[in-house]
Amino acid sequence: MRIGIIGCAGIAWRRMLPALAADPGVRLVALASRDPAKARRFADRFGGEPVTGYEALLERRDLDAVYVPLPAMLHAGWVERALESGLHVLCEKPLTGSAKETEALVGLAESRGLALLENFMFLRHSQHSRVRDLVAGGAIGDPLALTAEFGFPPVADDDVRYRPDVGGGALTDVGVYPLRTALLHLGAGLRVHGAHLRFDGRRGVDVGGAALLAGPGGETAHLSWGMERAYRSRYALWGSAGRIEVTWAYTPPPTHQPVIRVERQNHVEEFTLPAEDQFAAVVAAFVARVRDGVPSGLEGEPLLAQARLVDQVRSLALGS
């Protein structure tokens, strides 16, 4: 799969480009930045041709797909142009800032027979499919409630997550992880019944939040997130016969061996899984989807369900 990069962001340098460059099914053809020196620096490390300007990259005829790690506010426009150029797209999250924009892009990709994946790398880590298998096998009975928490200490003052002009804020950068976890384990029928966003008035962005969701069968999810708190990255499912917990859910390093804890009456089990690189797993899923049409779990209806929940959280929290 011949791929081009639209935007030389930090996440691309640290995690995604090493994974793309290492995958035998990928050839990194070109890397585009508005800054020629940055494009050259990325190309010197990862290979491919440095390109000045995103339009110039989309005009090439030697690409099958693009990876888009731009600031959030720029995603929708450049993803749309890439799809209109006939290219498959892997985009950093959030794909867009609203359900309306997400619906438009998902519809465009489907109409052109193209893959449009949102880079929720944690979903490709096998610890979550193991949880689903355990639940399906009756390990905790009927799942009734979920709690999920994701947060980390303050980032640098100039980080894009503190910039409202490029779509910064904790809800779409951090809160989407617990929201997507609720959808993964409790289903797409969830609705937001209460929400709160904590704002930083000086920076003009939300830096944390919480939400209460409920499903049609009475199942509930209590979610919290933030980017100015002690690190936490875990979730737990509480069922009619037990409880299951993932202790390093969202950002496990590739050397980490995940531990899944299952608690039942008078009995506790812990399952230690092999270490896994979830960024490499996303790349492999993208290649399989583009080449062979293998479902990825990172596109289509789950993207729409997640975008609708984000809209609901924002609407309830802001009273709009």
Could you give the C-alpha distances from 33 to 46, 126, 210, 270, in angstroms and in order?
14, 34, 36, 46
- The Cα angle at residue 110 between residues 71 and 96, in degrees rounded to 5: 20
Is the peptide bond prior to 253 cis by the omega test (within 30 degrees of 0)?
Answer: no
CB distance 103 to 311 below 8 Å:
no
Distance between CA atoms of residues 287 and 205, nearest Å: 35
Residue 50 neighbours by CB under 8 Å, 6+ apart: 30, 31, 32, 33, 36, 39, 40, 42, 43
Known catalytic membership, residue 100: no
Catalytic residue from among 15, 38, 75, 93: 93
Under DSSP, the state recorded for 166 is: G
- The Cα angle at residue 72 between residues 5 and 249, in degrees rounded to 5: 90
**Dihedral sign, CA of 161, 162, 168, 174?**
positive
CB distance 121 to 278 below 8 Å:
yes
| 213 token code pair | 């969701």
Q: Write out the DSSP string of 263-292.
A: EETTEEEEEEPPP--HHHHHHHHHHHHHHH
Give me the active site residues, please.
93
